Amino acid sequence: MENLASFISAFIDLLSINVILLMLGSTALGVIIGALPGLTATMGIALLTGLTYNVPLEYTFTILMGVYVGGIYGGSISAILLNIPGTASAAATALDGHQLALQGKAETAIKVTRLASIIGTLIGVLALALLAPPLTKIALQFQSTEFFVLALFGVLICGSIAAEDLSIKGWIGGLIGLSIAFVKIDNIEGVARFTFGNPNLLSGISVIPAMIGFYAIPEVIKAFSNDDPLEVTEAKDISTEKVNVLMTVIKKFRVIVQSALIGLGLGALPGVGEDVAAWVSYDTAKKTSKEKEKYGKGSYEGAIAPEVGNNAAIGGATIPLLTLGVPGSPPAAVLLGALTLHGIRPGPMINIESPGFISQIAALILLAVVALWVVGVILAKPMTKILKVPKVYLMPIVAALSVIGSFAIGLSMFDLTMVFIFGVLGFFLSKMAYSPAPIVLGLILGGMIDETFRRSLIAHNGSFSSFFTRPIALIFLILIVLTIAKQIFDNRKQVKSKV
Amino acid sequence: MEKKAMRRADLITSVVLLIYSIGMFVMSVNLVLKTLSKGRMWYQSAGLFPTIVATFTFLCAISLMRTAFKDGADFSFLTMDNAKKLIKSKEFKVSFIIIGLLAMYIFILLPITWLRYEFSTFIFLFTFMIIFNKKDIKSIIKTIVICIIATGMLTYGFGQLAMIPLP
């Protein structure tokens, strides 16, 4: 009750004209970013983090949360109208959403997914407001051992799930990210590690420029690799069938609750995020549906499930971000960078060092939901024109924005070098089906994993016993072993089936 | 990328990763030895976890190489003819041009102290758009106008609104 009261109070405090207008604008920007293929919510937050560096804290997170919520929803618009998801989290929505558009129900499909997104985000935000504060109390019991195994598990599971081709590529991505994180002066021993005498590397690789490099630059390069023109379906209903959007969504209550729980759970898993939540929600809804045969042919359930799942994952991903300092998704990973930049230290101490911050973030997401409803109605029809913006004009601007966005963080030309290097590396890795998610998560968590591992050993005089005697650490250790064992077993099964 | 080409690429990647992991392993072990020589314990060393990561990277690289071989990849594709085919492919040319444009912007235009950010950015945007756009007068004029607007918005947005010193 106390948490709910704090959440409601934080929401009321937010209701100033500046914040409302800023939220409407940033949510609209998020929807457009999410809708445009090649741009993602992660990219949008990363690029805007630099822009908001000198902006007061409350406005910064208004903008970033608006872009986050708008971006996750926005992907569904291009999924429906173009059959190209604007974000990976909308890939499952395209399966039934575009079919509905082809049946002349584009406008209804957009309205249904918007309502599903709003419901999913609402459930996520309630979970954040109610569960996160008590979780910080549990997290206060965590020692170095628990943080080590949790963060390591996060990188491992992210690698396993996010891998596009072979799972080993996801793990290699995570290991690459970890090794990049080692480049700096070590905090425990005070020695320079892998800096090769370059003074710019002594403080380590800056996360935001690296993320912009991995997420934005490859998309700019890939956009020009094919000449296929986009076929945009008009965002209006041609079919004469009258559909009550509210009743259509409410009738799927079971799917909504199921997908929301999946989204919350998967969103809370470090690094996994909205993409996986959407697919698992879709897959589970299909398997448990009485109308399985309609999936893929224009089923409203097929469009609702992934949108509820991916938006519930926003709240889910924010829970470990704020309570443990471990981001639950790539956009949450960028938010971690933004939080650190503004002097907020997420983790078990957040309620002590920044009291009320969790409720404030939850309230911002709730405000973003309201903004999404307004913006979604206004932007629905103009989106057709927006989606037709030629990439020859859009992508060079994204490239220039990536450069200035990276520079804005540290005002360092060296950060631009990092954007370039990681951009080129990210492009080649993406061509070989390496997902950027485990690389970036490894980069973000690498320092924490290394330091907590050694601190745990130092505290126990070199003994590994704490990893086996502390219950939470043991649980995660077992999960790590099972994840590795499953992968080895799956690989052997695959090899045997080829033979 | 089709599977056969992917596995060939994986083969090359696995070799790169093997070299990378061995290099990292050697540097990490050196750090551990330095720690021990100072009379400190091995678990305090900055090289401890990198040693573990290097080892796992090596093992993953071996696994990747094994998978690539099992799927039929081998090193026989590394010929001059294939290299020429790759260089002449549209995808390679496009990637090379864009990477070149980014390098020009970041390493040449922006560091020139007497060239203001607005002009560097306009030159970058205009060059980028004109290379990939139609070359008729109408498109060129449209490109110029869009570049001016985009440059103006970036300069105003970051320089004035966000008060960030521009490069």
The answer to whether the CB of B135 falls within 8 A of the CB of A433 is: no
A496 has pLDDT over 80: no
Contact state of A193 with B31 under an 8 Å Cβ cutoff: yes
Q: Which helix (H) or strand (E) holds A192?
A: strand A192-193
Token pair for B163: 């008060």
* Chain A residues with CB-CB distance to B102 below 8 A: 217, 399, 403, 420, 423
A227 has pLDDT over 70: no
Question: Within this chain, do residues B47 and B94 fall inside the same structural domain, yes or no?
Answer: no
Stretch B2-16: mean pLDDT, rounded? 88
What's the mean per-residue pLDDT of chain A?
Answer: 86
Q: pLDDT tens-digit profile of A70-82?
A: 998 988 888 888 7
Task: State how far the Cα of A413 lies from the Cα of A408, in Å rounded to an integer.
Answer: 10
Question: Within this chain, do residues B59 and B95 fall inside the same structural domain, yes or no?
Answer: no
Q: Kindly report the backbone phi and psi dihedral angles of residue A104, in degrees, each rounded to the nearest multiple of 5, phi listed first.
A: 85, 20
Question: Within this chain, do residues B62 and B92 fall inside the same structural domain, yes or no?
Answer: no
> How far, CA to CA in Å, does A425 sit from each of A420, B12, B99?
8, 15, 11
- Output the pLDDT for position B107: 95
A64 has pLDDT over 90: yes
Nearest to A462 among B43, B95, B133 (CB): B43
- Output the pLDDT for position A239: 64
Range B146-155 contact pairs with CB under 8 angstroms and sequence separation of 24 or more? B146/A393, B147/B122, B148/B122, B150/A397, B150/A400, B150/B121, B150/B125, B151/A400, B151/B118, B151/B121, B151/B122, B151/B125, B152/B118, B154/A397, B154/A400, B154/A401, B154/A404, B154/B121, B155/B117, B155/B118, B155/B121
Stretch A389-414: mean pLDDT, rounded? 88
- Output the pLDDT for position A231: 61
A499 has pLDDT over 60: no
Show the DSSP H helices in chain B as ranges: 3-37, 48-70, 80-88, 90-103, 117-132, 137-154
Stretch B73-86: mean pLDDT, rounded? 79
Between A271 and A113, the higher pLDDT residue = A113
Under the banding of pLDDT at 50, 70 and 90, the label for residue A228 is low
Task: State how far the Cα of A364 lies from the Cα of A125, in Å rounded to an integer.
Answer: 9
Stretch A116-138: mean pLDDT, rounded? 88
DSSP A291: T
- Output the pLDDT for position A22: 93
Q: Which amino acid would we find at residue A226?
A: N
Contact state of B10 with A178 under an 8 Å Cβ cutoff: no
Other Cβ atoms within 10 Å of B13 Cβ, number:
22
> Closest approach of chain A CAs to the CA of B121, in angstroms?
7
Question: Within this chain, do residues B32 and B11 fall inside the same structural domain, yes or no?
Answer: yes
Q: pLDDT tens-digit profile of B157-167?
A: 888 877 778 88
Mutate to test the interface with B, among A48, A51, A147, A175 (most CBs of B within 10 A): A175
- The answer to whether residue B167 sits within a structural domain is no
- Output the pLDDT for position A117: 92
Contact state of B106 with A419 under an 8 Å Cβ cutoff: yes
Task: State how far the Cα of A19 lies from the Cα of A25, in Å rounded to an integer.
Answer: 10
Range of the structural domain that residue B72 is part of: 3-78
Question: Within this chain, do residues B88 and B156 fall inside the same structural domain, yes or no?
Answer: yes
- Output the pLDDT for position B142: 93
* Structural domain ending residue among the three candidates B40, B58, B78: B78
> Closest approach of chain B CAs to the CA of A490, in angstroms?
13
A307 has pLDDT over 70: yes
> Closest approach of chain A CAs to the CA of B36, in angstroms?
12
A498 has pLDDT over 60: no
Stretch A205-227: mean pLDDT, rounded? 84
- The answer to whether residue B120 sits within a structural domain is yes
* Structural domain ending residue among the three candidates B62, B78, B94: B78
Task: State how far the Cα of A292 lies from the Cα of A288, in Å rounded to an integer.
Answer: 8
Token pair for A369: 């939901």
B55 has pLDDT over 80: yes
Question: Within this chain, do residues B139 and B70 fall inside the same structural domain, yes or no?
Answer: no
Contact state of B27 with A194 under an 8 Å Cβ cutoff: yes
- Output the pLDDT for position A236: 66
Mutate to test the interface with B, among A63, A172, A415 (most CBs of B within 10 A): A172
Q: Which amino acid would we find at residue B6?
A: M
> Closest approach of chain A CAs to the CA of B135, in angstroms?
13
Cβ-proximal residues to A118 (8 Å cutoff; 6+ apart), any chain? A311, A369, A372, A373
Give the total number of structural domains in chain B.
Answer: 2
Question: Within this chain, do residues B102 and B34 fall inside the same structural domain, yes or no?
Answer: no
Question: Within this chain, do residues B67 and B29 fall inside the same structural domain, yes or no?
Answer: yes
Task: Provide the CB-side half-sphere exposure for A430 (13 A, CA).
Answer: 20
Question: Within this chain, do residues B72 and B88 fall inside the same structural domain, yes or no?
Answer: no
Window 175-214 of A, Cβ < 8 Å to B: 175-176, 178-179, 182, 186, 188-189, 191, 193-194
Stretch B97-104: mean pLDDT, rounded? 95
- Output the pLDDT for position A235: 63
Stretch A126-151: mean pLDDT, rounded? 85
* Structural domain ending residue among the three candidates B18, B45, B78: B78
Determine the 3-state secondary structure of A15 from DSSP.
coil
Question: Within this chain, do residues B66 and B130 fall inside the same structural domain, yes or no?
Answer: no
Stretch A401-429: mean pLDDT, rounded? 90
Determine the 3-state secondary structure of A483 from DSSP.
helix
The answer to whether the CB of A248 falls within 8 A of the CB of A139 is: no
Token pair for A241: 């069938």
B114 has pLDDT over 80: yes
Other Cβ atoms within 10 Å of B41 Cβ, number:
14
